[in-house]
Amino acid sequence: MLIDCFFGFNAEVSRHGRENGHLDSSIKASNRVHSMKYAPSASASNEGASTSGAASQTASGVLSGSGVLNLRPGSTTSSGPLAQMFSSMSADVAREYLEKVADLLLEFAQADTVVKSLMASQSLLTRVFQMFNKIEPPILLKILRCINHLSGDPNCLETLQRTDAIKHLIPILELRDGPLVYQIHSEVLNALFNLCKINKRRQEQAAENGIIPHLMKFVMSDSPLRQYALPLLCDMAHASRNSREQLRVHGGLDVYLNLLEDDAWACTALDSIAVCLAHDNDHRKVEQALLKKEAIQKLVKFFQDCPEQYFGHILDAFLKIITKSSRLNTAMATNGLTTLLIARLDHREAIARLTLLKLIKVVYEHHPRPKQLIVENDLPQKLQNLIEERRDGQRGGQQVLVKQMATSLLKALHINTVL
């Protein structure tokens, strides 16, 4: 198969490199990728074409019926006539063939779903991943593009998971230097995103294999790859207890809080905060982090400054937060949230008004000075207005729920002797 050629060419390039000093002689056996200086190969010429023809004749004993060059059965390195062909090549020529094979693999990876599914066999992918730490950056980039294309096809995801694609991709993010590092990291992050989206098991696997520190580095350094790292980082809150603990340890909550100032990511970040708090354990470390004065101020300010088009989307997350933690409830209520909630009761959407009433009810039930809350904000009158008002164009069912909720809350207020 074509992949056999890939491994055969790569083995010969590595051998020539060790003999001629072109490649590092001490390739580590781990899955970590090391930056190598890449010498551009010569462009295809008439001499190259002649060499190709001669190579085809020499290797005719291992050509399949379809003309695809095969290695001997069960071989993972070059052998027989193919080995003779390799041995007569210089490292540069062998490298050029290796690059051509990588180009062909990339073509297949961009084909339709039938071709992709055939290409994404477990045996092929396993051998590709084993080569990650042995190929030079330019070839690695092409192979990563193959994996990225395959990861975009739902039919290939299970095979990629079975072959531990995530486990092999994440160490490549350790690569730091070289002209192709940005492109390599981009392909890896895109492939990981495709693998992890809407799949908690693969998200958890990514966390287990150390993706969170890498994502934090991209986000906190304002790297151009930040846009690819952020979706993965926000998804980690939903993955597992282990991923949430890693987020906390590596400062993920602080990143989420800072994202509240970014319109593009604020709603997603708030939802991640709410999920982390919802799964807080008995040690209440998430709650403790959110109770810091700076965190409370960021949450309240975000509610105050939230653009109108996003306002309806943030209410459920705030309701989850103040329902889960009475301490956070009280801290935000006494730092301006109460007034902001009541001021938005005239929102045009009935579902938003209903959620606001739920928020006000929870705040009222845990407020240290409930009578003060009632009087200073003229809450009874605002509730009465909701009960009496009629709004054209509103869904009848939702409007009825608003009136019922306002009536229930107004009755609760009458318990206080201030009324």
Let me know: does 141 contact 183? Beta carbons within 8 Å. yes
* pLDDT at 399 (0 to 100): 84
Single out the residue of 112, 116, 184, 103 nearest to residue 150, CA to CA: 116
* pLDDT at 344 (0 to 100): 95
Let me know: does 380 contact 386? Beta carbons within 8 Å. no
Single out the residue of 328, 323, 331 nearest to residue 286, CA to CA: 328
- β partners of residue 69: 63
56 three-state secondary structure: helix
* pLDDT at 301 (0 to 100): 98
Residues of the chain with pLDDT under 50: 1, 9, 12-13, 16-79, 417-419
Rounded to whole angstroms, the Cα distance separating 82 from 261 reads: 60
- All residues at 6 or more sequence positions from 80 whose CB lies less than 8 Å from its CB, including other chains: 61, 62, 71, 72
Rounded to whole angstroms, the Cα distance separating 173 from 211 reads: 9
- All residues at 6 or more sequence positions from 252 whose CB lies less than 8 Å from its CB, including other chains: 212, 216, 233, 236, 237, 246, 276
* pLDDT at 302 (0 to 100): 98
Rounded to whole angstroms, the Cα distance separating 234 from 226 reads: 12
Single out the residue of 190, 191, 192 nearest to residue 209, CA to CA: 192
pLDDT in tens, 290-326: 999 999 999 999 999 999 999 999 999 999 999 999 9
Rounded to whole angstroms, the Cα distance separating 272 from 253 reads: 9
Domains (ranges, CATH) in the chain?
286-419 (1.25.10.10)
How would DSSP label each residue in 127-148? HHHHTTTTS-HHHHHHHHHHHH
* pLDDT at 221 (0 to 100): 87
Report the chain's mean pLDDT, rounded to a whole number: 81
Single out the residue of 20, 164, 172 nearest to residue 94, CA to CA: 20
Residue type, 257: L
* pLDDT at 79 (0 to 100): 46
Dihedral pair phi/psi, residue 69, rounded to 5°: -75, 125
* pLDDT at 412 (0 to 100): 87
| pTM of the full structure | 0.77
- All residues at 6 or more sequence positions from 323 whose CB lies less than 8 Å from its CB, including other chains: 329, 362
Dihedral pair phi/psi, residue 255, rounded to 5°: -65, -45
Token match 């009848």: residue?
A: 396
* pLDDT at 3 (0 to 100): 53
- All residues at 6 or more sequence positions from 141 whose CB lies less than 8 Å from its CB, including other chains: 180, 183, 184, 187
Q: Hey, what are 214's tokens?
A: 């890498």
